[in-house]
């Protein structure tokens, strides 16, 4: 059970593109989530977006800053950036992503 929500209780059905960066020391990094036409925007209201919640059996990881992308005045996408500040946060995030990837058919590919 690994899911993403933008409003508590409403699972996001669109699977995001996720981009990871990590410092050379391995103790910090970022994860950028890009959602194209997420279901939460199909409700014609962004008022319900209170953050991005990554939920699994260990608990939840919360991202408070979520940005909307608009095209011709209509919301088309969401972007959330998770700043990872320690090795423990990195390990916890990767455990979530392994579960989420397995449930949603995501693959990892390293940039060249």
Asked whether residue 110 is domain-assigned, the answer is no
Q: What CATH number should be reported for the domain holding residue 77?
A: 2.40.30.220
Asked whether residue 109 is domain-assigned, the answer is no
Asked whether residue 111 is domain-assigned, the answer is no
pTM above 0.85, yes or no: yes
Q: Return the HEC string of the chain.
A: CCEEEEECCEECCCCCEEEEEECCCCCCEEEEEEEECCHHHHHCCCCCCCCEEEEECCEEEEECCEEEEEECCEEEEEEEEEEECCHHHHHHHHHHHHHHHHHHCCCCCCCC
Domain count, the chain: 1
For the chain, percent of residues with pLDDT exceeding 90 = 71
What domain range includes position 7?
Answer: 3-104
pLDDT tens string 56-90: 999 999 999 899 999 898 889 999 999 999 999 99
Q: 78 φ, ψ to 5°?
A: -130, 145
pLDDT tens string 11-31: 999 999 999 999 998 889 999
Asked whether residue 69 is domain-assigned, the answer is yes
Asked if 14 and 64 touch (Cβ cutoff 8 Å), the reply is no
Asked whether residue 112 is domain-assigned, the answer is no
Asked whether residue 96 is domain-assigned, the answer is yes
On the question of pLDDT at 46 being above 80, the answer is no
Asked whether residue 55 is domain-assigned, the answer is yes
């Amino acid at each position: 059970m690994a899911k993403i929500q933008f409003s508590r209780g409403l699972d996001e059905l669109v699977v995001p593109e996720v981009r990871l960066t990590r410092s050379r020391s391995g103790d910090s990094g970022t994860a950028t989530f890009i959602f194209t036409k997420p279901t939460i925007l199909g409700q014609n209201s962004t008022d319900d977006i209170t953050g991005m919640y990554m939920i699994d059996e260990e608990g939840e990881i919360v991202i408070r800053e979520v940005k909307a992308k608009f095209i011709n005045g209509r919301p088309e996408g969401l972007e959330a950036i998770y700043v990872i500040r320690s090795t423990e946060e990195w390990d916890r995030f990767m455990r979530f992503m392994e579960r989420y990837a397995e449930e949603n058919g995501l693959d990892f590919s390293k940039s060249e």
